[in-house]
Structure 1
Amino acid sequence: MSYRFLVLSVIFLTSFCSVSYAETDRQKIKAEITQANSSLKKARDNSNNIKVVIDKNKSEINRLSRKQYDAENKITSITKQLIESNKTKQTLTAEVEVEKEALAKQLLAMYSSGEESHLRLLLKQDDPSDISRTTKYFEYLNKSRIDRIKTVRKKLTRVKKIEGDISKDRERLKSLRVTLGDDRKSLQSELNKNAAALKQAKRVEVSKQKKLNTLKKEEAALQAVFEKLIRAQKAQAAKEAKAAALAKKKAEAKKAPAKVAKAAPKATPKAAPKSTKKSGKRTTLNFTANKPFSSLRGRLSWPVKGTISKKYGSARNQKQKWKGVLIKAPGGQRVHAVARGKIEYAGPLRGYGYVVIIQHDKSYRTLYTYNRAVYRKTGDIVQAGDVIAAVGNAGEDEDTALYFEIRKGSVPKNPAAWCK
């Protein structure tokens, strides 16, 4: 009986200990899960805070880049003005010297003829007609001398004013150069902050899948911008077509000019653009405003000087491909419009930095992203070669580069087939 009791007691104690250990394990696991969730929340909050910092830095970089660009343009303008002012001053100074020399010769001639030349003529008792002619000659000489003196005074006054303007321009130039130097230091400081924030953002990335999801969202946001622009273009075209149809209907309602109204559309078919296409093939570098974008295939200039690091169609990651080209270029380098067009979008877009989208003819558009700053605004008309932005960071990459796309509608085209 006692043996049996002893066995039952051992079994009971063993079971109790097992239950106790299992409960302890559950508590440990629960604590670890809570800690992991807390760490994940902190990581997400940190990541969001870093993105806010990056966006703020990008905005400041854009402001400073624009300020620097404006200052450089002013310096160039004032420098040209100084060169022109100096040229004018040299010309006027030379003219004053000529006038002075002529006056000196006149005074010398006057001195040689004597101070009382009129009296001497009368005392000589020469022919009155000779005296009259000589007197007239002296009057002309005196008038000429007075006119020369006035001219010299005017030119000296003008030279003095130009010298004053030159002095002011030099002071302005000096001040602008100091300001530009300070702005460059501020810009470099912001770029350094941005680079540090980008490195920190890389360290807090949770996984490759999260990064892929972010890229997909950013690409979808960019695609949404394009689709919005295309819808607006179609709506405008439909509105214009409706207005044209209404105008045609009103014209047909009038009996007398009905035939004339029918003849008018024949005068404006789309024959002119075809001839423009043919003439466009003869031009290689000079782009004109009336040249269709489609005729510039293979003759467009690249938007920035650099090295293509990512080709069109190459793998961006496991599930995405590049729809344009990535051109490595120094940060701050000027980005140029490749053809004439209207800026449809100019501003920041998450994941793409500062973005510029230019609409060309026949639904063609060009896209310029990863800019640190944009120098134009929505609605501006730009010509081929016009500066529109400055090169910035390639997304989360530390390298500076420009991402460039060409699209017809929403369909991407290979930029290498269009640019030489």
Structure 2
Amino acid sequence: MNFFRLPSFFTVNYHHFVFTLLISTAVLTPSLSYAASKEDLKGVSAEISRQKTSLTTQQKKLNQLQGELKNHEVAISKLGQEIRSNERELTQVQANLTELKAQTRKLEQTKKQQKDTLEQLIKTYYLTSRSNNLPQIIQGGDAGKNDRISQYFQHLAKARSEAIEALSETQTELSQKEQLLSQEENRQATLLADKKAKRDDLIKAQSQRKGTVSKIQSNIRNNQSKLAELRRNENRLKAEIAKAAKRNISPMNGLAAYRGKLPWPLKGSILHNYGTSQSGQITWKGIVINAKQGEAVKAVHSGKVVFAEWLRGYGLVLLIDHGKGDMTLYGYNQTLLKKDGDVVAEGETIALAGNTGGQDRPSLYFEIRRNSQAQNPRSWLK
């Protein structure tokens, strides 16, 4: 019966259905006419057509849900990046405020000293004027004494003028510092309000994501559906790796000299080992490492980012090319800190761990590929 085509994971069930129905017809009603058999066959075809339509609808629904999941997780990642940026800015603002406050206190002390000096000069000038009877000195008297007193008064006047000028400059600088302090305080208040709003948006997006993940899990009800989805996800990953390998010819020397010496991308227990069963005949092509939400994910070796996007089944993924056909892949991330084309160093933080791709717990999916072929990461890591 080749007049219809179905996905592989439904074919056996449908063929069994057809076979059983035809055998039952043959055994129970041996005297049926050719016309009756034809009617039965039409009924079988109609049922298979109905099942096929149902499958198509189910797949469309799953695709729609996966699209929604992508939107939620990309939005969460963006909000995570913005909150992280806010936190860095707030740290800088706090440092600026601390420095400005210290400078303001120092200027206040300088201002007080300058005011005390000016007051003392004015007081000295006044007392000296009275004791030496300045009007009489101006009118005449001992020329030598008059000259000394005149020079002393000139010195006092100059010192007073300099003190007034210094005090004025200090006051101007102090006003500028106070203005900057006010601006930084306003900036801090704005950043804090922005951060709070983004946190609220993040909580909302995480709640929406949780609902979408539940719907996806409900949509993939049986092992055959799960197996088909895993196969499609794996094929998508292979396609992206092949495209990245084709468009990037790296001059780097690869990982061959570092087998068994590479650092771990993060520290955590192994949830799934390479080669173990994922579902049916699908096995894990990498390892899944337990992680804390937002934990730093580090590059295991220097290289160039050749893929930094959301990929169905793997969430937010970073693919790093190390040359000679060697690549490392980091999936399930909450936030990507690098973009396509970035050059990274060994040990550099490239992402924050999460549970994207519809995972139910924070973890990191890690692969090593040589000429697009998956390797056991455990034999490469320290």
TM range (shorter): 0.7 to 0.9
Asked if 1:205 corresponds to 2:167, the answer is no
Name the amino acid aligned to 1:219.
E
2:189 to 156, 174, 177: 174
1:374 to 323, 332, 336: 336
Task: Indicate the residue corresponding to 1:105 in structure 2.
Answer: 120
Task: Indicate the residue corresponding to 1:246 in structure 2.
Answer: none
TM-superposed CA distance for 1:80, in Å, is: 2.1
Asked if 1:90 corresponds to 2:111, the answer is no
Task: Indicate the residue corresponding to 2:84 in structure 1.
Answer: 69
Name the amino acid aligned to 2:191.
L
- Cα distance, 1:218–1:35 mapped onto 2, change above 3 Å: closer
Name the amino acid aligned to 2:188.
L
1:100-159 CA distance string (max 9 Å, x none): 222222223223323574445568944x34543442233223222212211221221222
Q: Distance in 2 between matches of 1:95 and 1:49?
A: 68
Q: Tell me which moved more, 49-58 or 313-322.
A: 313-322
Identical amino acids, percent of aligned pairs: 27
1:248-397 map, 5 Å? 294=257, 298=261, 300=263, 302-304=264-266, 306-360=268-322, 364-384=326-346, 386-393=348-355, 395-397=357-359
- Cα distance, 1:122–1:52 mapped onto 2, change above 3 Å: closer
Q: Distance in 2 between matches of 1:296 and 1:164?
A: 58
Count of residue pairs brought into register by the alignment: 350
2:71 to 25, 31, 56: 56
Q: Distance in 2 between matches of 1:18 and 1:405?
A: 60
- Cα distance, 1:177–1:319 mapped onto 2, change above 3 Å: same
Q: Distance in 1 between matches of 2:67 and 2:295?
A: 25
Q: Distance in 2 between matches of 1:29 and 1:296?
A: 57
Q: Distance in 2 between matches of 1:120 and 1:303?
A: 91
Q: Which runs of 4+ in 1 moved over 6 A?
A: 15-31
1:241-284 CA distance string (max 9 Å, x none): xxxxxxxxxxxxxxxxxxxxxxxxxxxxxxxx9xxxxxxxxxxx
Task: Name stretches of at least 5 consecutive residues in structure 1 with no aligned partner.
Answer: 1-14, 238-272, 274-291
Structure 2 length as normaliser, TM-score? 0.76
1:383-404 CA distance string (max 9 Å, x none): 4554433333253331122212
Q: Distance in 2 between matches of 1:314 and 1:135?
A: 101
Higher relative contact order (CA 8 A, sep 6+): 2
Q: Report the RMSD for the aligned CA atoms in angstroms.
A: 3.7
Q: Distance in 2 between matches of 1:16 and 1:338?
A: 70
TM-superposed CA distance for 1:304, in Å, is: 4.1
TM-superposed CA distance for 1:306, in Å, is: 4.6
Contact 2:353 2:364 in 1 (8 A): yes
Contact 2:328 2:366 in 1 (8 A): yes
Contact 2:312 2:357 in 1 (8 A): no
Structure 1 length as normaliser, TM-score? 0.70
Task: Name stretches of at least 5 consecutive residues in structure 2 with no aligned partner.
Answer: 1-28
1:196-227 CA distance string (max 9 Å, x none): 11111111215423423332332333233333
